Structure 1
Amino acid sequence: MTTFDKREQGFEAKFVQDEELMFKAAARSNKLLGLWAAAQLGLSGDAAASYATVLVTDHLQSRTIDDVVDKVSGDLAGTGIAREQVAQKLQECLHQAMQQLQAGR
């Protein structure tokens, strides 16, 4: 195996690792957003967990970040929380998720 082959394998392994991290971070941030949204809707316990789980599983089915924000902001429409606030909260959740993953939690 040449140095070039080893280097190529290293780049491929790094790419796979980065993609896995982003997948985990997106799933975790959607769960955190779902729990926050559930609290805004007055849900708790199993109902809140179920709402958060739906956001995670829906995202796995080719939902984009915009789709997630649209769904949550639609669900929160009656609470006076604007789409921009939901998008900001999702960014906060993503940041929190990345910190948790990097800390090994």
Structure 2
Amino acid sequence: MSGINDREKGFENKFAHDQELEFKAAARRNKLLGLWAAELMGLDGEAAAEYAKSVIVADFEEAGDDDVFRKVRGDLDARNVDLSDHLLRKQMDDLLATARQQIQAEG
């Protein structure tokens, strides 16, 4: 019976580890997205860093990526940056892949 419990505990630990990595990847993606969007809006230096932080915080409004998408979409629209929803979502997907690679390389 101990073997089954050990195996179950191993699955639980792997799941928790995977969830932690995914949380870190999403946070890093949001930072990268914020810096990318800041550049499109003409922000640099401290203003770009602050904007990236605001994108990270936006992700805590609700589960999923829609809160981040809405924030960045609204900010780009407010600055008259011409970018389709499709390209914004593609950039979000691409940056999530980049963030995952970066985190795996660090681990």
Alignment pair present for 1:27 and 2:42:
no
Equivalent pair of 1:26/1:94 in contact (CA under 8 Å): yes
Q: Which runs of 5+ in 2 are unaligned?
A: none
Deviation at 1:66, TM superposition (A): 1.4
CA distance 1:50–1:63, change in 2 (3 Å) = farther
Provide the aligned length of Structure 1 versus Structure 2. Answer: 105
- TM score, norm. by length of structure 1: 0.93
Q: TM-score, structure 2 length as denominator?
A: 0.92
Aligned to 1:96: 98
1:63 deviates by: 5.0
Q: Which moved more, 1:83-92 or 1:38-47?
A: 83-92
Q: Distance in 2 between matches of 1:84 and 1:92?
A: 12
Gaps of 5+ in 1: none
What's 1:74 paired with? 74
Q: Could you say if the C-alpha distance between residues 44 and 66 of structure 1 is closer, same or farther in structure 2, counting changes exceeding 3 Å?
A: same
Identical-residue share of aligned pairs (%): 46
CA contact (8 A) 1:70 1:83 kept: no
Match of 2:85 in 1: 83
Which residue is equivalent to 2:9? 9
Counterpart Cα distance in 1 of 2:2 and 2:61 = 40
How far off is 1:67 after superposition?
1.6
Judge conservation of contact 1:73–1:82 (CA < 8 Å) in 2: no
Task: Report the equivalent of 1:41.
Answer: 41
Taking the aligned partners of 2:63 and 2:53, their CA distance within structure 1 comes to 14
Deviation at 1:61, TM superposition (A): 3.9
Q: Which moved more, 1:38-47 or 1:75-84?
A: 75-84
Q: CA RMSD in A?
A: 1.4
Q: Which amino acid aligns with 2:30?
A: N
Tell me if the contact between 2:61 and 2:67 (Cα under 8 Å) persists in the aligned partners: no
Return the letter of the residue paired with 1:98: R
